[in-house]
Amino acid sequence: MSQPPRFSLENDTILVTGVQGFIGIHTAAAGIRAGARIIGVDVMGQSDRADRVRESLGCPPITIETLDLLDTETTARLLREVRPFMIVHCAGSIERKTDAPPLSPARESNAVLTASLLDALMALPETQRPILVMPGSQMEYGKAPMPWTEDRPCEPVNTYGAGKLAATKSVLEVAGKKKLRACVLRLPIVFGPGQPPLMFVPELIGKALRKEAVPMTAGDQRRAFVYVEDAAELLLETALRIAHSTPFPTLLNAPACPPMAILDVAHIIADALNARDLLRVGACPKRPGEPLDAWPDTSLATSLELTARTPLAEALQKTIAWYQENPWFWEE
């Protein structure tokens, strides 16, 4: 069950790009819980699967505009019609290949879509430009040495990190010229209900529920995680802070649960599903150059009294319960 929102967006209009994706679905749901009017934008238009996830979260139907953000003119026209208070820009690719060419779809999707959205925003009169918040990623830091503070030069190692970094730089450039109130909120590992099995947590849950073996590394890597409902609320709260705080950082590492070893996360999930015997610890090698410890430094967010509300163990239990209640999602 979702926690009550810690802020109100009553009568505010929020435009969520990539609204049919994992973070987009939850951002829209968090906005509705806070009283906002949600306008969703997605290149795929309607999605029965996304609708079922929304319904499972207790989220009512939302208005979805089928729109390719690369069409700057149409995007600007929609922005003039809707006049949103804020945009949460979740659209983009989640491809994570390390051997893709420099102009891979993932890199281009994240970088070019964001640049096109910024062009549409710049076409509006300055007084009509909404606040823009974009989820960034810890993968932008890549092989950069820790601590991963906001001013640490990034060294992404895959297409996703490179594409997100290019998008971040575009937003920061416009915000730095005082042309737009904006922030990139760099997220750690996000997980929760409705996440496709491309990441470790949903893959492990799905395989455990299907009674399949779960090959994994030794699991001694320590990572920071955040529950998707917390991430969605933090994106919205960031926009509210921008509206009411001057100045506010244009780049911020999102709050997260304290780092935990991947093996410990696996044990929490496997024990909840009586499936520890399915874990094949050490069956997979680590990625070349993968560090044992890797997570963003959240000191700045802490100083701003931004927090992730849901402890990791509780968030994992909520996620497991959702998968158990929605077998259609992982059986298909």
- The predicted pLDDT at position 44 comes to 84
Spatial separation of the C-alpha atoms in residues 162 and 214, rounded to whole Å = 29
- The predicted pLDDT at position 99 comes to 53
Residue 197 has which token pair? 């099995």
Residue 82 has which token pair? 């809707």
In the chain, alpha helices (H): 22-33, 48-56, 72-82, 105-122, 159-176, 200-209, 228-244, 262-272, 299-303, 312-325, 327-331
Task: State in Å, rounded, how far the first CA of the chain is from the last one.
Answer: 24
Q: How many residues does the chain have?
A: 332
- The predicted pLDDT at position 322 comes to 98
Starting from the edge strand earliest in sequence, which strands make up the sheet with 251-253, in order? 63-66, 37-42, 13-17, 86-89, 131-137, 182-187, 251-253
- The predicted pLDDT at position 112 comes to 93
- The predicted pLDDT at position 96 comes to 59
Spatial separation of the C-alpha atoms in residues 86 and 131, rounded to whole Å = 5
pLDDT in tens for each of the 332 residues of the chain?
677 778 889 999 999 999 999 999 999 999 999 999 999 999 988 889 999 999 999 999 999 999 999 999 999 999 999 999 999 999 988 765 555 455 455 556 789 999 999 999 999 999 999 999 999 999 999 999 999 999 999 999 999 999 999 999 999 999 999 999 999 999 999 999 999 988 999 999 999 999 999 999 999 999 999 999 999 999 999 999 999 877 899 999 999 999 999 999 999 999 999 999 999 999 999 988 889 999 999 999 999 999 999 999 999 999 999 999 999 999 86
- The predicted pLDDT at position 108 comes to 67
Q: pTM for this one?
A: 0.94
Domains of the chain: 13-190+226-255+297-303 (3.40.50.720)
- The predicted pLDDT at position 192 comes to 98
